[in-house]
Homo-oligomer: A and B are copies of this chain.
Amino acid sequence: MPFRLRGVIPPLVTPFRADGSLDLAAFEANLEAYAGSDLGGYLVLGSNGEAGSLEEDEKRVLVRVARAAAGARPLLVGTGRESTRATVAFTRQAGDAGADAALVLTPHYYKAQMTADALIRHFEAVADASPIPVLLYSVPQFTGLPFPPGVAATLSQHPNVGGMKESSGDVGLLARIRAVVPERFQLACGSAGVFLPALCLGVPAGVLAVACCAPGPTSALYRAFEAGDLARARRLHEALLPLALAVSALEPELAREIHAAYVRYIGEYCSADPARLKATVPVLAGTDDSGASIVNEVAGEPWVAASSAS
């Protein structure tokens, strides 16, 4: 059965202990908490998981643990590096470890050299060598590189390029890409603020940080839209918006307020490693008066209320 990119997929956070080391118990507790939610799979080693700050052995153990916990759910693994050779090597490892698809970030350090031609050669080399389907991953707020629709059009002809996660938040770009790729090329929206608009355009999946905190309501939004209830989908979109902004830090002031009120998702810098966050297990209380209750009311189901594992 071919890989299907559908519904809501949380890009798993990587929890660290105060000394900067991996907190695997917290990572597993998160996965256990998500097991009961209506999710389309998991992404491990994405931007939200601080993949760029992890050591090789840390990456391997996270993939292994995620695979074991995911069960029958699709598991996506972020495998992109700056060099083609390193990307190929790690993509193969991910495939061997049971990943269902590899999410491959655009190389981006030498921005001027990353022409359409160079990007195409890189992704084709990875897709040629990969034992599992490759998904393109564009996230310009981190890479500083816009993704040209023509590159997606060319790569969508490769039999082992299965789709793309587009995280710019530019829904118009998503539409322009959709217009030039075949039906079998599967698109996912990577920006919660435009998940509903993307669904309206026919994009069938969201890999969304907000789903780490609020898997239930995010999934409820998706299901409402699928059921043709646009009004309910819109109310859930509005109820989730502050939280979505908070977790993506688009509105830092708002993020601080929301953080203080009912979510501890946005980590603090580890004392031992300023570049790593103490991203603890998401805690969503069902009793707050600002956002979760509205969501609960609309969603008709309580938010996941995991207890902190940090």
* Whole-angstrom distance between the Cβ of A59 and the nearest chain B Cβ: 12
A249–B274 Cα distance when bound, in Å, is 32
Contact B194 A110 (CB under 8 A): no
A window 249-276: CB within 8 A of B = 249-252, 269, 272-276
Give Cα A63 to B55, complex, Å. 21
Q: Is A201 an interface residue (CB 8 A)?
A: yes
Q: Which of A83-91, A155-163, A210-218 contacts B (4 or more CB under 8 A)?
A: A83-91
Kindly provide the distance from the CB of A13 to the nearest chain B CB, expressed in whole angstroms. Answer: 13
Flag if B269 contacts A121 (CB, 8 Å): yes
State which of A33-41, A230-238, A280-288, A300-308 sits at the interface with chain B: A230-238
**Chain B CB within 10 A, most for which of A87, A121, A228, A275:** A275
A83: contacting residue among B241, B245, B273, CB under 8 A: B273
When C-beta atoms are compared, the residue in chain B nearest to A120 turns out to be: B274
Among listed A24-32, A70-78, A95-103, A165-173, interface-contacting one: A165-173
Which chain B residue lies CB-closest to A107? Answer: B275
Residue of A53, A142, A171, A228 ringed by the most chain B CB atoms within 10 A: A171
Instruction: With CB as the reference atom, state the residue of chain B lying closest to A276.
Output: B83
**Is A204 among interface residues, defined by CB-CB distance under 8 A?**
no
Interface residue stretch chosen among A4-12, A111-119, A130-138: A111-119
Task: Indicate if the CB atoms of A193 and B169 lie closer than 8 Å.
Answer: no
- What CA separation (Å) do A143 and B175 show in the bound complex? 25
Indicate whether A200 reaches chain B with its CB closer than 8 angstroms: yes
Q: Which of A191-220 contact B (CB under 8 A)?
A: 191, 193-194, 196-202
Interface of A is mostly: helix
How many A residues face the partner with a CB closer than 8 A?
62
- Nearest B residue (CB) for A233: B200
Is A275 touching B84 in the complex (CB atoms < 8 A)? Answer: yes
A109 interface residue, CB < 8 Å from B?
A: yes
Query: A61 interface residue, CB < 8 Å from B?
Result: no
Known: A169-B172, A197-B200. A55 touches B86 (CB 8 A): yes
Cross-chain contact B172 with A83 (CB below 8 angstroms): no
Q: What residues on B are CB-neighbors of A251 within 8 Å?
A: 176
| Residue A297 lies at the interface, judged by CB distance under 8 Å to chain B | no
The answer, yes or no, to whether A47 is at the interface (CB within 8 Å) is: yes
- CB contacts (< 8 Å) of A118 on chain B: these are 269, 274-275
Q: Which 9 A-B pairs have the closest CB atoms?
A: A197-B197, A172-B193, A53-B83, A121-B274, A200-B200, A144-B144, A84-B275, A52-B82, A83-B275
Instruction: Provide 20 A-B residue pairs closer than 8 Å at the C-beta atoms, listed in order of the A residue.
Output: A20-B85, A47-B110, A53-B83, A82-B275, A87-B275, A111-B142, A118-B274, A118-B275, A122-B275, A172-B250, A175-B241, A176-B241, A176-B245, A196-B200, A197-B197, A197-B201, A200-B200, A200-B234, A201-B234, A202-B234
